[in-house]
Amino acid sequence: MKISESMEDYLQSIYQIQMDNEYARVKDIAEDLDVKTSSVISALKKLSEGKLVYYQKYGYIKLTKNGLLVAAEIYEKKNSVSSFLSEVMCINKRESRKLAHGLEHHLNEKLLTRMEALTLYFRKNKVKFCDVKTFLKKYEKEFENTVDKFKTGANIKILRIKGHKEIKERLFSMGIIPGVTFKIERKTLNEPVEIFINNVRIILRDEEIKSIVGEKV
């Protein structure tokens, strides 16, 4: 199914609502996007036909496994673009969010990574003139901070999940998705890492923790 920009907006809305609740409702989506109920229902039918959402008339709405993968990618891109415009381009946050809407549809992975790198650089250094080229090379090599780089006790906000589809599906099934915060409960050398997320303790393997990109909060 080819996903239009409009359908991506609906997927992102459902994703953000699901971060706080187990499911979304038609009226929640309508309020979030400021659209009519009839427009939401029409979009949900298309997304359901494309097997991206579970939806029945008068029922609750949830993303399918594939829908979650697509929505998470949309969320990551929009969040990254908004942060770049605000922190690097010095555009106020409200306008940055508006400008980010639509821009994220046209970014490839390389451009997105560069924008994230610059945002992180200026956030850490609080300056705008420096050796950006060196930092970019280092960033692209390390691909930002993954969970294996943080210590026990750190609270981490998930920025993105990298790696192949199987890893993403496995982590998503445990509630480990971009936008969610968790705490590292136990981390020792050459041992699995224990995290506390959504009131549940989860053990993660080395491959999994190196796929979770986040920032300390």
- pLDDT: which is higher, 182 or 19: 182
CATH architecture of the domain covering 5-68 = Orthogonal Bundle (1.10)
Give the lowest-confidence range in 32-41, 117-126, 172-181, 183-192.
Answer: 117-126
Among residues of the chain, what percentage have pLDDT more than 90?
40
Interatomic CA distance for residues 35 and 30, integer angstroms: 5
Instruction: Report the first-to-last Cα separation within the chain, whole angstroms.
Output: 37
- Nearest-5° Cα angle at 168, 48 to 201: 110
Q: What is the mean pLDDT of residues 75-101?
A: 82
Rounded alpha-carbon distances, angstroms, from residue 90 to 11, 36, 94, 97 = 29, 34, 12, 13
Interatomic CA distance for residues 209 and 25, integer angstroms: 33
Tell me which CATH code domain 147-216 carries: 2.30.30.90
pLDDT for the residue 8: 87
pTM of the complete model beyond 0.75: no
pLDDT tens column, 50-76: 999 998 777 789 999 999 999 998 888
CATH 1.10.60 for domain 79-142, yes or no, is yes
Q: In the predicted model, is pLDDT for residue 95 greater than 80?
A: yes
pLDDT for the residue 103: 76
pLDDT tens column, 111-161: 888 888 888 888 877 655 456 656 666 666 655 688 888 989 999 999 989
Domains 5-68 and 79-142 share a fold: no
The ranges assigned to domains in the chain are 5-68, 79-142, 147-216
Mean pLDDT, the chain, whole residue set:
85
- pLDDT: which is higher, 1 or 112: 112
pLDDT tens column, 190-216: 788 999 998 999 999 989 998 999 888
pLDDT for the residue 114: 86
Please name the residue that has the structure tokens 């982590």: 171
